[in-house]
Chain A
Amino acid sequence: MINKLKNPFRNGLGQLTIPLIAIIILVVFNLIRDPSFFGIEIIQNNDGNNVLSGNLISIINGASELAILAMGMTLVTAACGGQDISVGAAAAIAGSAFVKILKSGDSISGGKVLLAFLFACVVAMLFGAFNGTLVAVFKIQPMIATLILYTCGRSIAYWINGGATPTVTSPIINAIGSFIPGIPVPTPVLIVVIVGVIFKLVFRLTSLEIFTQSVGINGSAARLNGINSTFIKLLSFIILGVCVAISGSIGVSRLGLINHETLLLDVEMDTILAVAIGGNNLGGGKFKVGGSIIGAYVIQMLTITLYAMKVSSTDVKAYKAIVIVLLVVIGSPVVKAKFEKYMSQLRAKKAAVNTKGADQS
Chain B
Amino acid sequence: MMKNNGLRKEPVSDTQLLMTITISIFVAMYLMAMFGLGGGFLHVQQIFDMLNDNASLIIVSCGLTIVMIGGGIDISVGAVTSLVVMSCVLYLNRGGNIFVAILLALGIGLAFGVVHGLLISYLEIQPFIVTLAGMFFARGMTTILSVNPQKVSHEGFTALRDTKIEIPWLGYTAKNGNLVPARMELGVLVAFVCVVLVFILLKNHRLGRSFYAMGGNQQSALMLGINVKRTRFISYVISGALSGISGFVFMMHTGAGNATNAAGMEMNAIAASIIGGTLLTGGVGNVAGTFFGVMTLTTIKKIVVSSGLNDPWWQNITTGGMLCFFILLQSVVLSRRNGKKKTL
Q: Which of B16-24, B47-55, B136-144 lies at the interface with chain A?
A: B136-144
B266 smallest CB distance to A (angstroms): 11
Q: Residue A205 at the B interface, CB < 8 A?
A: no
Main secondary structure of the interface of B (DSSP, over half): helix
Are A155 and B317 in touch, CB under 8 angstroms? yes
Kindly list chain B residues whose C-beta atoms are within 8 Å of the C-beta of A155. Answer: 312-317, 320
Q: Residue A9 at the B interface, CB < 8 A?
A: no
Q: Which of B30-38, B124-132, B217-225 lies at the interface with chain A?
A: B124-132
- With A141-B280, A144-B327, A317-B140 known to touch, is A152 a contact of B312 (CB < 8 Å)? no
Kindly list chain A residues whose C-beta atoms are within 8 Å of the C-beta of B140. Answer: 314-321
Q: How far is the CA of A332 from the CA of B271 in the complex (A)?
A: 29
Kindly list chain A residues whose C-beta atoms are within 8 Å of the C-beta of B321. Answer: 152
A282 smallest CB distance to B (angstroms): 5
Are B147 and A314 in touch, CB under 8 angstroms? yes
B273 smallest CB distance to A (angstroms): 10
Are B312 and A163 in touch, CB under 8 angstroms? yes
Q: How far is the CA of A153 from the CA of B143 in the complex (A)?
A: 26
Q: Residue A335 at the B interface, CB < 8 A?
A: yes
Are B125 and A147 in touch, CB under 8 angstroms? no
Q: Which of A12-20, A51-59, A235-243, A323-331 lies at the interface with chain B?
A: A323-331
Kindly list chain A residues whose C-beta atoms are within 8 Å of the C-beta of B147. Answer: 314
Q: When A and B form their complex, what is the total count of cross-chain residue pairs whose Cβ atoms lie within 8 Å?
A: 133
Are A147 and B313 in touch, CB under 8 angstroms? no
Residue of A nearest to B318 (CB): A152
Q: How far is the CA of A111 from the CA of B316 in the complex (A)?
A: 35
A263 smallest CB distance to B (angstroms): 15
- With A144-B327, A314-B147, A318-B141 known to touch, is A282 a contact of B129 (CB < 8 Å)? yes
Q: How far is the CA of A140 from the CA of B325 in the complex (A)?
A: 12
Interface size on B, residues (CB 8 A): 46
Main secondary structure of the interface of A (DSSP, over half): helix
- With A138-B331, A143-B280 known to touch, is A317 a contact of B313 (CB < 8 Å)? no
Kindly list chain A residues whose C-beta atoms are within 8 Å of the C-beta of B306. Answer: none
Q: Residue A322 at the B interface, CB < 8 A?
A: yes
Residue of B nearest to A158 (CB): B313
- With A148-B327, A149-B320, A155-B313 known to touch, is A139 a contact of B132 (CB < 8 Å)? no
B323 smallest CB distance to A (angstroms): 5
A299-313 vs B, Cβ < 8 Å mask (1 yes, 0 no): 000000000000010
Q: Residue A97 at the B interface, CB < 8 A?
A: no
Are B125 and A328 in touch, CB under 8 angstroms? yes
A216 smallest CB distance to B (angstroms): 15
Q: Which of A32-40, A171-179, A186-194, A268-276 lies at the interface with chain B?
A: A268-276
B89-132 vs A, Cβ < 8 Å mask (1 yes, 0 no): 00000000000000000000000000000010011111011101
Are A325 and B119 in touch, CB under 8 angstroms? yes
Q: How far is the CA of A328 from the CA of B328 in the complex (A)?
A: 34
- With A148-B320, A273-B132 known to touch, is A158 a contact of B312 (CB < 8 Å)? yes
Q: Which 3 pairs from chain A and chain B are nearest by CB?
A: A318-B140, A152-B320, A321-B137
Complex A-B: 24 CB contacts under 8 Å: A134-B328, A139-B335, A140-B327, A143-B73, A143-B280, A145-B327, A152-B317, A152-B321, A153-B320, A156-B317, A158-B312, A269-B135, A273-B129, A282-B128, A282-B129, A314-B140, A314-B259, A316-B140, A318-B136, A318-B139, A324-B132, A325-B130, A328-B130, A332-B124
Q: Which residues of B are in contact with A by a Cβ distance under 8 Å?
A: 73, 119, 122-126, 128-130, 132-137, 139-141, 143-144, 147, 259, 267, 270-271, 274, 280-281, 311-317, 319-321, 323-324, 327-328, 331-332, 335
